[in-house]
Amino acid sequence: MSNRPIELSIIMPAFNEAEEIQASIRTVDKKMAAMKAVYEIIVVNDGSRDETLTKAQACACGHIQILSYGQNRGKGFAVRHGMLHSKGKYKLFMDVDLSTSLDAIDQFLMSMHEDKYDVLIGNRKNGPGSTGTGQPWHRRFLGTGYIKLSCLCAGTNIKDFTCGFKMFNAKAADIIFTRQRTFDWSFDTELIYIAILHRLRIGEMGVVWKHHHGSTVRPLRDILISLAGLLKIRWHIFKKDYR
């Protein structure tokens, strides 16, 4: 890799992703190499119980790091762990299933280079082909209701809190992830609230996105978990933990 500073760190949290982890790492690596950027890929194994760690480690090299810990701590913890170990001028976290088109990487970087935003969030409802083809009704219902509650919790009108494709500049990442307290499904809302509290510039950009049927949602359980997560965030707000 080049001796130039790292321009982009890509954090990929992974839990029980043995079937696709290697293909996903190689696809992202190929995309970034074609962009001729200086980059690092950080895969965070979130206590997987399958062969995710072994298969990911087979891809490790100078610019591909594999971080791991034994206990499953949640996607939010994995993202935070990767962010705090990253060195890029810009930092992106994305899902291992690559449900968001990798073309968004170029688009997000171009926008960040213009220095209009500190935080840039993927919007699955506002991009070509971004309707989430094949998404079950309960996922759409849960997502819509959760976004409305998140808007109330965070005091914003952001359209898509939970898109697994978000980019930060290094300053914003340091401010946000050193204050993060929530690691379950609600962590996206917490990140955005912290950004708003610290007057960071937040933008949304439409992304091409496709639902992957391998991901599972249990409606009642996930509704209860998300509501409990938002209540925890409100408690942290009350205690001024994010200042």
- Does the global pTM surpass 0.75? yes
Residues 6+ apart with CB under 8 A from 181: 190, 232, 233, 236, 241, 242
Sequential pLDDT tens for the chain (243 residues)? 567 899 999 999 999 999 999 999 999 999 999 999 999 999 999 999 999 999 999 999 999 999 999 999 999 999 999 999 999 999 999 999 999 999 999 999 999 999 999 999 999 876 554 445 555 555 555 566 666 777 777 777 787 878 899 999 999 999 999 999 999 888 999 999 999 999 999 999 999 988 665 555 565 676 778 788 889 999 999 999 999
pLDDT tens digit string along 87-129? Answer: 999 999 999 999 999 999 999 999 999 999 999 999 987 655 4
**CA pair distance 231, 23, nearest whole angstrom:** 38
Strands 90-94 and 64-69: unpaired
d(CA 140, CA 108): 25
What phi, psi does 202 have (nearest 5°)? -115, 130
Contact between 48 and 16 under an 8 Å Cβ cutoff? The reply is yes
Whether the CB-CB separation of 121 and 205 falls below 8 Å is answered with yes
- Residue 59 pLDDT: 98
Mind spelling out the 3-state secondary structure of 41-107? EEEEEECCCCCHHHHHHCCCECCEEEEEECCCCCHHHHHHHHHHHCCCCEEEEECCCCCECCHHHHH
Surface-to-core class of residue 57, CB atoms within 10 Å of its CB (0-12 exposed, 13-18 middle, 19+ buried): middle
Half-sphere exposure of 182 (CA within 13 A, CB side): 26
